[in-house]
Structure 1
Amino acid sequence: MNFLTQIDNLALIALLLVSGAALFLPTLSTLIGGKGLSPTEATIWINRRKAHVLDLRPEAAYKAGRLPGAKLINPADISAAIEKLKLDRKHPVVLVCETGAHSRKAINEVKKLGFEEIGTLDGGVQAWKQAALPLVKQ
């Protein structure tokens, strides 16, 4: 009976460790790789926090429809493009691409430029469209 109690205790401890890790991983991911933003959260950052919106898509996609206030940035030359825009580093940055995959890759490059708070639009412009939010067209 004593041996079974020890196994039960080990199982409970393992469950505790696994569930604790599962709860902590999203926080760790945010600290390491920036914050993933829903379209609603991105709207709040843009409107209330005056976030800079940087669009990493090709120019044709940008012209077909972009988030309000978005600036077109060449993902291959992010540092130079951001320096040229002379953005205020006190404001957060929202990185946008078509699906969210490319903007996640650009987070570290933007962090190196001194921006403390960086978010990516989860699901990219596709998620923005699905949320029926407006796009600016040229």
Structure 2
Amino acid sequence: MNFLTQIDNLALIALLLVSGAALFLPTLSTLIGGKGLSPTEATIWINRRKAYVLDLRSEEEYKTGHLPGAKFANSSALTAAIEKLKLDRKLPVVLVCDTGTQSRKLLAEAQKLGFVEVGVLDGGVQAWKAAALPLVK
């Protein structure tokens, strides 16, 4: 009987550890890799939190249509583009590209520039369009 109780306790402890790890992993990935934002979450960041939106696509793509309030930031010279825009580092930043891939690659660079919070629009402008949200020309 004592042996079975120990096995039950070990199973409960293992379950506790696994569930705790599962709850912590999303937080850990956000801390390491930045915040992935859905179009709805990005809209909330922009409207309620006054987040800057940096469009990392080419200037031609930017001119064909970009998120409202987005600023063009040349992805090959992100640091220089951010310095030129004189952005307040206390406000969040949303990085946007066509599909979200390029934004993810530049996330660490934006974080190193001292922004409190940096997010990436998951799926990029393509996801924004798919959500039937407006683009500005």
Q: Deviations over 1:20-57 (max 9, x none)?
A: 11111111112222222121121121122221100112
RMSD over aligned CA atoms reads 1.7
The secondary structure found in structure 2 opposite 1:108 is helix
- Structure 1 CA distance, aligned partners of 2:59 and 2:26? 32
- Per the alignment, residue 100 of structure 1 pairs with 100
Q: How far apart are residue 4 of structure 1 and its match?
A: 4.1
Q: How far apart are residue 7 of structure 1 and its match?
A: 3.2
- Per the alignment, residue 47 of structure 1 pairs with 47
- Per the alignment, residue 121 of structure 1 pairs with 121
Q: How far apart are residue 92 of structure 1 and its match?
A: 1.1
**Which ranges of structure 1 fall in alignment gaps of 5 or more residues?**
none
Instruction: Mark the CA change 1:3 to 1:101 in structure 2 (over 3 Å): closer, same or farther.
Output: farther
The secondary structure found in structure 2 opposite 1:67 is coil
Shift >4 Å, 4+ stretches: none
Q: How far apart are residue 60 of structure 1 and its match?
A: 2.8
Q: Deviations over 1:92-118 (max 9, x none)?
A: 111111222221221211121111111
TM-score (norm 1): 0.88
Q: Where in structure 2 are the equivalents of 1:1-12 lying within 5 Å? A: 1-12=1-12
**Which ranges of structure 2 fall in alignment gaps of 5 or more residues?**
none
- Structure 2 CA distance, aligned partners of 1:118 and 1:15? 34
> Letter of the aligned partner of 1:72 in structure 2?
F
Question: Would you say how many aligned residue pairs link Structure 1 and Structure 2?
Answer: 137
- Structure 1 CA distance, aligned partners of 2:101 and 2:9? 41
Instruction: Give identity over the alignment, percent.
Output: 81
